[in-house]
Structure 1
Amino acid sequence: MGKGFYISKPLGFVLFGLGVGAVLTIFALSVVYSQEKRKNEVNARDGTRMVTTAAPHSTSAPSNEPWDKYRLPDTLLPAYYNVTLWPRLVPDEQGMYIFTGKSGVALTCVKETNLIIIHSNELNFTLTSEMHHAKLAGLGGTSAPVILKTWFQIQTQFMVILLKDNLQVGKSYWLYMEFRGELSDDLGGFYRSQYTENGVKKVVATTQMQPTAARNAFPCFDEPSMKAVFHLTLLHPPGTVALANGMELDDQEVLQTRFEPTEKMSTYLLAFISNQKPNGDYALSVTFPILKYLENYYNTTYPLSKSDQVALPDFAAGAMENWGLVTYREQSLFYDPKVSSNEDKEWVVTVITHELAHMWFGNLVTMRWWNDLWLNEGFASYVSYLGADYAEPTWNIKDLMVLQQVQRAFGVDALVSSHPLSSREDEVITPDQIDQLFDTITYSKGAAVLRMLSEFLTDLRYYDVFTRLVVDADSSIQLPASINEIMNRWILQMGFPVVTINTRTGIISQQHFLIHPDAVVDKPSDYNYEWFVPITWMKSGSNMGQHWLLTKTASYEPMKTDTDWLLANLNVTGYYRVNYDPQNWERLLTQLTNLNMIIHRAQIINITLALRTTKYLYEEKEYIPWESAIRNFEYFFLMFDRTEVYGPLQTYLQRKVKPLFDHFKVITSNWTRKPPRYMDQYNQINAVSMACKTGVKGCSELTRMWYRQWMKNPDSNPIPTNLKITVYCNAIAAGGVEEWDFGWQMFKNSTIAAEAEKLLYGLSCTKEPWLLNRYLEFTIEPNLVRKQDVAFAIVYISGNVIGQPLVWDFVRANWEHLTKDYDDGSFFFGRLIRGITRKFSTEFDLQQLQRFKEDIAASSFSFGTQAIEQAIEQTKANIKWVSENKVQVMNWLIEQSA
């Protein structure tokens, strides 16, 4: 899974995913629609290599020496490692937690060289001889050259060993080193986590190696293609348990646990843990059926002798696919039916499926380099819905892929600061560039594009999709080109098309879709931002078909009558937007309540005529259309919650959501039981949340009543598990310091991660500025808020109209402190920037953001540039949209209330 996959549930509500909400694409599409309407008023490459033409970044130092480059030379290959590590689970006399280790690696020389270059970062080495930090010996009777010099290249994170003579091609050598490092709390490499059990603090030594942190634990060839076998031994205190990728072989001395050799694998998949916590019952119950499903899906048995899953109290990602030892945030693995919601349960099963999918796809077969990370993560994200649907068939969870993956990807991929799924290897070199790939494009667009591919092929299960799927495709399927020709256009260029269909003239066309249609795209593409688009369509409810759009413009058969309508991109299986001529839009609007397939109503809610399509919502009771509409309207709240538009907007939506609120009040017998249907349980959350947000009578009273009952009896929480986020937020917002302090105490006392997460969000909803400022100060105290939760807490506060300016000031004043303690500062910083700039929509906001970018550039920090560039672009788009639409939206809303 890696880093980019994790989105906490409350953050998903606030951010609509990792990027800005998919609604932003609506407004760019409205420009396309307007242009098409004006137009109507006036007048009715082949190849298998995945490369781009963009120039490579200049990432290397001016020197051309091999140790100044970020990639390992192609002179040596590791065969196996022997690694012994001893983490100290108590601080030393200086108050530091440290680990010591010794490691050896068997090397094979494939090109003659007098250099050994191996990754090493933040490790202190013991002199293994009088002068040097390493020993070199020959294997199999080979003599080893003398070491002349060893030194460290800090920028490229290498230990460099200069030899007197060359290593011989085809010969093997043994490189031995001893070292020590800090078992810090930066959530990366070999680090420490802690929790309290029965009043006693327990320390866990654990790992997070992906993508470039194995070098922080021991010297290694830390690139995914440098696979090797690992022989691991952990020393640990009596009374603790040690785990690693392989099975334990013995525990003879109590303090020493050896593990069976791993399969040949990449360094980023290595994992070891000392003194772990137990895992959860629900996770265990779904793991076996998911594994069996995946064995059948891949037609390959599970490749290892065991499968451990461990939850960690402190973990930056959602989970990590270490081979045979998957690590999770507690919230991603533990489910307690007494306190956890449907969303929590869904999160657990999809995350587990995502990680277990990697055991084959990513671990058994691995990308050569990080530029193709999307194949790992996009495929696992796609398969997570298939496996979860198998484990929980009554949930219809595959229907949520459009909301959770496709629309999320649209929001980011409509920016000119987006990037292709795959790029050249020399465009992804530094650790920071690698880190930035763990984003919405890699995960969500990757899943969306593979989902589209699976719709016109019968099978999608192999890693090398561009060579093997041609063989495995159904021979009856007629494709207009090879898989390579079709997919290269989706993989090697950023963005996606908007397909415009004129049902009167029969003209169909495509163009690159951008949030800001006037933005300049300065990234060249071999395919000129044109795609091979698989268009599925339905005419007047029954006549269905498919058409491939292979050029900029094409023709098809126009509609025969003025009453016929056409709906394209059925079930949103294609990764593209659709626009129509005004007449077809009008006909589709009349069909909203008649369309049988719920997802079709959600699709139309998500396109151009956003405001008009919502007029029917008072009749809508289904989850997916409501969820889609709410995500779209959230942009209106972001842009207008500080303006005069907010009142009419609130009034309009209050009228739409009140029938839904009343509906759920009835079917739950006045909120005393769960709705019977699974999707209704989700939609009940929307009903209560939007009702309280828009001031529906009885909603605020309901949430405050539940919360006050809990305050009177803290040991018995009466709040329905699915409604906790909404109740906590609204009750704390309506209350004062007493409600906030109670919520904080419950947060501190919580032993269930999912419950703590809901309270973390709810606490951000207070309307008291001094409480928000106090909360912000708490976030930089590790004993109050765990480091893994800091970014989320700050972003939650920024979603509060009162808290947003407080957060902006706080982050600018404390950004160095906020990021310096994280092994992966780039990912942390990007999460912050994307979250706290969502409301930026004025020239003053833009100037402040640009000044902040200059401050970052003038510092010693090299990360976060992509997040800031995206924030600047988004702010410009927000400014333009508000200036062009504020009056229009205001007048339309007032007309509706007249």
Structure 2
Amino acid sequence: MSQGIYISKNAAVTAAVLAAAAMVTIIALSVAYSKQKTSAGEGGGAGEGGGGTQVGPTPAPEPKEPWDRYRLPDTLSPVSYNVTLWPRLEKDEGGRYIFTGHSAVVFQCVKETDLILIHSSKLNFTMFEGHQATLTTLDGRRAPAIRTTWLQPKTEYLVVQLSGTLVPGRSYQLYTKFQGELADDLEGFYRSEYVEDGVRKIVATTQMQATYARQAFPCFDEPAMKAVFHMTLIHPRSTTALANGRDAVITDTILEGTDVRITTFEPTKPMSTYILAFIVSDFGSIKKDDSSSTTLVRIWARKKALELGHGAYALNVTLRMLEFFESYYNTSYPLSKSDQVALPDFNAGAMENWGLITYRETSLLYDPRTSSNGNKERVLTVIAHELAHMWFGNLVTLRWWNDLWLNEGFASYVEYLGADHAEPSWHIKDMIVQGDVQRAFTVDSLVSSHPLTRKEEEVNKPEEISQMFDTISYSKGAAVLRMLSEFLSEPVFVKGLSSYLHQFAFGNTVYTDLWDHLERARRREGLHLPDSIHEIMNRWILQMGFPVVTIDTTTGSISQQHFLLDPDAVVDRPSIYNYQWIVPIKWMKNRVEQEQHWLTDKTAVFEPMRVSGGEWLLANMNVSGYYRVNYDLQNWERLFTQLSSNHQAIPVINRAQIIDDAFSLASARILNTTVALQSTRYLVQEREYIPWQAASSSLYYFFQMFDRTEVYGPMLAYLKKLVGPLYEYSMKIDRPLSHTMAYTRSIALSLACTTGVPGSNEQVLEWFRQWMREPNDIGIDPNLKTTVYCKAIAAGGEAEWNFAWEMFRNATVASEAARLRSALACTKVPWLLNRYLQYSLDPTKIRKQDATSTIGYIANNVVGQSFAWDFFRSKWDYLFKE
């Protein structure tokens, strides 16, 4: 249950006075806003579907040779790899960190061929009798001779041309020896660096997704090409080696005059190359002795971090969530161990390598003394996301990257379920609305959006694959799967899911395979739907965007249309469904939830949605559906009246929905801006986080629109009246705060400082300057640090910035360093922002993984916008390369 608040009679009278005063400000702001929108919208093109005949680009000619195509032919299928790698953790004579290795891949011939194509990138090969590989059979027969070999850099192949043909059904072994570089490019087999006790240390680690395994050794680097991996790592005796499987044999010896340790690992299960991982490091580990579990669970990180207890929280929640997912999937965890590793340098938030998950330090380590609730939640949800992949994605894998949305969207949905199981008091399942649904709305309301899935032939090149890892795949994927689970019910959804996992374990699928199993489950349960799951869900999968559902409560009429933030934008992407959806509508009338209704046409009349008198109607309960809602003006007014008189009569998620929908509809010129602004009047009474977060996000657009106009002052005055009561209330709480109330207080302080609530900026500056006087004091509330750091640096000058920079440089906790790195971009001093931009491209100052986000922080600062844009353009070649 969300935290409530008792409102006294005096407070209610004050709220009524503020609401009346607010109307004057709302009308003035809406007039100015409308002028601004009209000015910005002048000269727009035709509406949706207009603009005449669309002429598509001329398709590229089909490559003539197999090695000029990016997809592997269907002639060979890998069975197993035997890979040995030796990463050198010291520079060679040329000043490089290198690794050497050899690999033997066993594959079966599926179709007769005289050509072997195997992925390879950035590797140098040892020659065997003039060739870069040797080919043998497993049954003692003579293999075809190798006629010639060469590297095809564009498509990233080692090409092996044979003098004879391979026989279907027969197995062969291809052997190679090679050398590569442990670069700091955060992909393939790369190096990460950190300093501990004044000593620089090197970590050899991996990131294979999506097409980087080929940079570590030659392999059939496509998700459907599953195989068993036998890994061996050669490494310094002072280090530890990790891989997907447990270490099986460890031997100390001398190679090339060097004392080394050879660690051989147990064979993996059949798996894709992109979830392969191996690490050599000086890390320490912690584990939980749990006799009830047969799975070894360990957290690996810098030794200092573990000594300070920063891995304890991750270890505890991992065990709880593994138990949850085993129950949820009705399938045992498929491996013997689960290692989780915190890396100083890592490009993604985390990576679901099977049995060896890798993380940024901020996503795995939590310091109870200095980290905030947000840091703790980040650790919780990222672990949940990656553990969800151990089954959905790793055990059962999508056939090709065009269906990435199902893999990542599913994990993005069920991470909230796993996190909720581990921390039930946080009510974290509600967070999906702001964390993913509204985030997806923002991107999916643009004509530049795209459908969740694409045809396989549209996703070939590595850069095309990389483009699939976006907000649509993750957040919209989560939103539509949550909607599916809601209208099926969670028990039916889980039964279909369990059946799907059992049938396709260790195999590959397409998204329609899941629809098949869910359809069978819903039929077995006798659940009635207006159409099959295929027909319902394909409308959400195969066309971009989402609808706005408009309900006229005076007539009971309902309609849907494709929602576009710019109503004049031209949609040139055709849809076989003509941008029409089958929409599940959960709704309530005057606090009473009604039976779900389905909108299957563009327009319909549903008499029960007519209301009379003072009744109000609210659609899309708990935002379970992926669509926005508009009403007739009278119903909007009745909702606002209900909010002002007793806002708790409306569920907390829907209070946020009303604000978010109203502002988005106003931005799209569907709803008058005056109506949208009225949705905020009741906020003088609101104490819950989710509605305030929706309001803060929605009002941020107004800050952008008006920060250089004459109405900026009146807008700040209006917002100050809204946030003042929340600021006073939240800052006076002396009891332990709930998880979400800590977030609410942070929003209150930020808005109070922005709008000039008396005492707020002075308080922030005092906290920061006290810290400057006593740098070892951690007196600032961790949940307020982000706001305090930013506002103090914005109000200060060079002294405050330099102090924060030194604290950033010396930070030993990754989450604290991340807060300071963001806050440094808040300064209003132009030359400091320009200096910071230069720092962003110096890896000795800002890690490569953080460069682009640092530039983004500076661009978020109104003073830094033009600087960041000029810098970004001038440094584009370097940014793209690095």
Do they fold alike, i.e. is TM over 0.5?
A: yes
**Deviation at residue 448 of structure 1 after TM alignment:** 0.4
Partner of 1:155: 154
Structure 2 matches for 1:193-342, cutoff 5 A?
A: 193-253=192-252, 254-277=260-283, 278-279=300-301, 280-342=311-373
Q: Is the contact made by 1:80 and 1:229 (CA closer than 8 Å) also made in structure 2?
A: yes
| 1:579 maps onto 2:630 in alignment | yes
Partner of 1:740: 801
Structure 2 matches for 1:548-627, cutoff 5 A?
A: 548-557=598-607, 558-593=609-644, 594=646, 595-608=649-662, 609-627=675-693
* Corresponding residue to 2:595 among 536, 540, 545: 545
**Deviation at residue 643 of structure 1 after TM alignment:** 2.8
Partner of 1:809: 870
**Deviation at residue 342 of structure 1 after TM alignment:** 0.2
What is the alpha-carbon distance in structure 1 between the residues aligned to residue 359 and residue 586 of structure 2? 39
With over 3 angstroms needed to count, the CA separation of the structure-2 counterparts of 1:276 and 1:819, relative to structure 1, is farther
Counterpart of 2:800, as a letter, is E
Partner of 2:115: 115
What is the alpha-carbon distance in structure 2 between the residues aligned to residue 61 and residue 288 of structure 1? 52
Partner of 2:467: 436
What is the alpha-carbon distance in structure 1 between the residues aligned to residue 879 and residue 107 of structure 2? 40
What is the alpha-carbon distance in structure 2 between the residues aligned to residue 234 and residue 789 of structure 1? 30
| 1:660 maps onto 2:709 in alignment | no
What is the alpha-carbon distance in structure 1 between the residues aligned to residue 112 and residue 55 of structure 2? 31
Counterpart of 1:568, as a letter, is A
**Deviation at residue 276 of structure 1 after TM alignment:** 5.0
Q: Is the contact made by 1:116 and 1:161 (CA closer than 8 Å) also made in structure 2?
A: yes
State the secondary structure of the residue aligned to 2:721.
helix
Q: Is the contact made by 1:276 and 1:312 (CA closer than 8 Å) also made in structure 2?
A: no
| 1:484 maps onto 2:483 in alignment | no
Structure 2 matches for 1:163-174, cutoff 5 A?
A: 163-174=162-173
What is the alpha-carbon distance in structure 2 between the residues aligned to residue 696 and residue 769 of structure 1? 26
**Deviation at residue 327 of structure 1 after TM alignment:** 0.2
What is the alpha-carbon distance in structure 1 between the residues aligned to residue 605 and residue 875 of structure 2? 57
Partner of 1:381: 412
What is the alpha-carbon distance in structure 2 between the residues aligned to residue 727 and residue 676 of structure 1? 18
What is the alpha-carbon distance in structure 2 between the residues aligned to residue 59 and residue 118 of structure 1? 27
State the secondary structure of the residue aligned to 1:72.
coil
| 1:818 maps onto 2:879 in alignment | yes
Q: Deviations 1:597-626 (Å, cap 9, x if unpaired)?
A: 211211111122321111221121111111
Higher relative contact order (CA 8 A, sep 6+): 1
**Deviation at residue 94 of structure 1 after TM alignment:** 1.2
Partner of 1:67: 67
Counterpart of 1:465, as a letter, is L
**Deviation at residue 385 of structure 1 after TM alignment:** 0.3
What is the alpha-carbon distance in structure 1 between the residues aligned to residue 793 and residue 184 of structure 2? 32
More deviation in 457-466 or 290-299?
Answer: 457-466
Q: Is the contact made by 2:409 and 2:477 (CA closer than 8 Å) also made in structure 1?
A: yes
Q: Is the contact made by 1:112 and 1:168 (CA closer than 8 Å) also made in structure 2?
A: yes
| 1:360 maps onto 2:359 in alignment | no
Q: Is the contact made by 1:142 and 1:172 (CA closer than 8 Å) also made in structure 2?
A: no
State the secondary structure of the residue aligned to 2:784.
helix
Structure 2 matches for 1:522-533, cutoff 5 A?
A: 522-533=572-583
Q: Is the contact made by 1:605 and 1:613 (CA closer than 8 Å) also made in structure 2?
A: yes
**Deviation at residue 519 of structure 1 after TM alignment:** 1.1
Q: Is the contact made by 1:642 and 1:801 (CA closer than 8 Å) also made in structure 2?
A: no
Counterpart of 1:657, as a letter, is V
Partner of 2:842: 781
With over 3 angstroms needed to count, the CA separation of the structure-2 counterparts of 1:264 and 1:56, relative to structure 1, is farther
With over 3 angstroms needed to count, the CA separation of the structure-2 counterparts of 1:188 and 1:276, relative to structure 1, is farther
Counterpart of 1:397, as a letter, is I
**Deviation at residue 409 of structure 1 after TM alignment:** 0.2
**Deviation at residue 472 of structure 1 after TM alignment:** 2.4
Partner of 2:585: 535
Displaced runs of 4 or more, over 6 A: 54-61
Q: Deviations 1:32-73 (Å, cap 9, x if unpaired)?
A: xx9xxxxxxxxxxxxxxxxxxx99998867532111111000
**Deviation at residue 102 of structure 1 after TM alignment:** 0.6
State the secondary structure of the residue aligned to 1:722.
coil
| 1:684 maps onto 2:745 in alignment | yes
| 1:755 maps onto 2:823 in alignment | no
* Corresponding residue to 2:520 among 471, 476, 499: 471
With over 3 angstroms needed to count, the CA separation of the structure-2 counterparts of 1:554 and 1:683, relative to structure 1, is same
What is the alpha-carbon distance in structure 1 between the residues aligned to residue 251 and residue 59 of structure 2? 49
Q: Deviations 1:641-665 (Å, cap 9, x if unpaired)?
A: 2333322222211111111111112
Partner of 1:874: none
What is the alpha-carbon distance in structure 2 between the residues aligned to residue 354 and residue 705 of structure 1? 39
State the secondary structure of the residue aligned to 1:522.
coil
Structure 2 unaligned blocks of 5 or more = 1-29, 38-53, 253-259, 284-299, 302-310, 501-512, 663-674
With over 3 angstroms needed to count, the CA separation of the structure-2 counterparts of 1:596 and 1:585, relative to structure 1, is closer
What is the alpha-carbon distance in structure 2 between the residues aligned to residue 286 and residue 235 of structure 1? 33
What is the alpha-carbon distance in structure 1 between the residues aligned to residue 162 and residue 251 of structure 2? 40
Q: Is the contact made by 2:548 and 2:627 (CA closer than 8 Å) also made in structure 1?
A: yes
Q: Is the contact made by 1:532 and 1:550 (CA closer than 8 Å) also made in structure 2?
A: yes
CA RMSD of aligned residues (A): 1.8
State the secondary structure of the residue aligned to 2:560.
strand
Q: Is the contact made by 2:731 and 2:745 (CA closer than 8 Å) also made in structure 1?
A: no
Q: Is the contact made by 2:658 and 2:679 (CA closer than 8 Å) also made in structure 1?
A: yes
What is the alpha-carbon distance in structure 2 between the residues aligned to residue 58 and residue 197 of structure 1? 56
Q: Deviations 1:369-393 (Å, cap 9, x if unpaired)?
A: 0011111100001010000000001
Counterpart of 2:237, as a letter, is P
Partner of 2:555: 505
Q: Deviations 1:210-250 (Å, cap 9, x if unpaired)?
A: 00000111110000000000000111112000000000012
More deviation in 405-414 or 586-595?
Answer: 586-595
What is the alpha-carbon distance in structure 2 between the residues aligned to residue 110 and residue 142 of structure 1? 18
State the secondary structure of the residue aligned to 1:264.
coil
What is the alpha-carbon distance in structure 2 between the residues aligned to residue 780 and residue 732 of structure 1? 22
Counterpart of 1:90, as a letter, is E
Count residues with an aligned counterpart: 767
**Deviation at residue 676 of structure 1 after TM alignment:** 2.7
State the secondary structure of the residue aligned to 2:314.
helix
Structure 2 matches for 1:644-723, cutoff 5 A?
A: 644-668=710-734, 675-723=736-784
Structure 1 unaligned blocks of 5 or more = 1-26, 35-53, 669-673, 822-898
More deviation in 445-454 or 275-284?
Answer: 275-284
Structure 2 matches for 1:38-49, cutoff 5 A?
A: none
What is the alpha-carbon distance in structure 2 between the residues aligned to residue 359 and residue 393 of structure 1? 22
Q: Is the contact made by 1:559 and 1:565 (CA closer than 8 Å) also made in structure 2?
A: no
Counterpart of 1:640, as a letter, is F
State the secondary structure of the residue aligned to 2:679.
helix
**Deviation at residue 139 of structure 1 after TM alignment:** 1.3
Q: Is the contact made by 2:643 and 2:650 (CA closer than 8 Å) also made in structure 1?
A: no
Counterpart of 2:366, as a letter, is Y
